[in-house]
Amino acid sequence: MADIRVAGVEKDYGALTVLHDCNLEIRDNEFIVLVGPSGSGKTTLLRLIAGLEPISRGDMYFDETRVNDLDVSDRDIAMVFQNYGLYPHMSVFENMAFSLRRRGLDRQQIDAKVRNAAELLNLSDYLQRRPKQLSGGQRQRVALGRAMVRDPEVFLLDEPLSNLDAQLRVQMRHEILRVHQRVKATAVYVTHDQVEAMTMGDRIVVMHQGRIQQVGTPEELYDQPCNRFVASFIGTPAMGFVAARRAGEGGLGTATGEVAISAAQAQRIGARGNLTIGIRPEHITLGEVAGQAQLSATVEMVEMLGAEQYVHCRLGPDEMLTARMPRTAGLRPDQKVTLSIDMDAVHLFDAETEAAL
Q: With CA atoms as reference, report the closest residue to 334 among 304, 303, 348, 313.
A: 313
What pLDDT sits at residue 237?
A: 92
Strand, coil or helix: what is 221? helix
What pLDDT sits at residue 329?
A: 82
What pLDDT sits at residue 1?
A: 55
What does the longest C-alpha to C-alpha distance in the chain come to? 79
CA angle 305, 308, 312 (to 5 degrees): 80
**113 phi, psi to nearest 5 deg:** -65, -45
**Fold exhibited by the domain 4-227:** Rossmann fold (3.40.50)
β-sheet bridge partners, residue 202: none
CA angle 330, 335, 337 (to 5 degrees): 85
What residues contact residue 149 under an 8 Å CB cut-off, 6+ apart? 96, 97, 99, 100, 113, 114, 117
Question: What is the tens place of the pLDDT at every residue in 259-284?
Answer: 999 999 999 999 898 999 999 999 99
The ranges of the chain annotated as CATH 3.40.50.300 are: 4-227
Q: How do 336-341 and 284-286 pair as beta strands?
A: antiparallel
The one-letter amino acid code at 33 reads V
The ranges of the chain annotated as CATH 2.40.50.140 are: 240-350
What pLDDT sits at residue 95?
A: 95
Residue 177, Cβ density class (10 Å: 0-12 exposed, 13-18 middle, ≥19 buried): middle
What pLDDT sits at residue 171?
A: 86
Instruction: Mark the ranges of the chain whose per-residue pLDDT is less than 50.
Output: none
Q: Write down the CATH number for the domain with range 240-350.
A: 2.40.50.140
Question: What is the tens place of the pLDDT at every residue in 170-197?
Answer: 888 988 898 888 888 999 999 999 999 9
